[in-house]
Amino acid sequence: MDALRRSALTDAENITVSATGGTVTIGGIVRTWQERELALGTAWSTPGVQCVEDLIVIRP
C-alpha cells in the first residue's frame, strides 16, 4: 500500500491489498487500465511475492 500511495498515477484509497505467505490479493476500483497495471506491477515488484491475485475493477 505504501508503494501505491507514493504513485501520483494511482488513487490508492480505492485499492485493497492483503498478503498471505507469498500470495498478494489486490482488489478495488481504478479509473484506467494504466492504474491497474501500475497496481499489479507494484505488487509483483515487492520482495517475496510469488503470486498476485487480481481482483481489480476498472470503472472510469
Q: What is the DSSP string of 26-52?
A: EEEEESSHHHHHHHHHHHHTSTT--EE
Q: Per-domain residue ranges for the chain? A: 2-58
Three cell numbers written together for 37: 497495471
In terms of pLDDT, which residue wins out, 54 or 43? 54
d(CA 12, CA 38): 11
Task: Find the mean pLDDT for residues 22-41.
Answer: 91
Question: What pLDDT shows up at residue 8?
Answer: 46
The CATH number for 2-58, chosen from 1.10.3470, 3.40.1000, 3.30.1340, 1.10.10, is: 3.30.1340
- pLDDT above 90: percentage of residues in the chain: 47
**Selection from 16, 17, 21, 14 nearest residue 51 by Cα:** 21
Q: How many CB atoms lie within 10 A of CB 4?
A: 20
25: confidence class by pLDDT, cuts 50, 70, 90: very high
Task: Find the mean pLDDT for residues 42-60.
Answer: 93
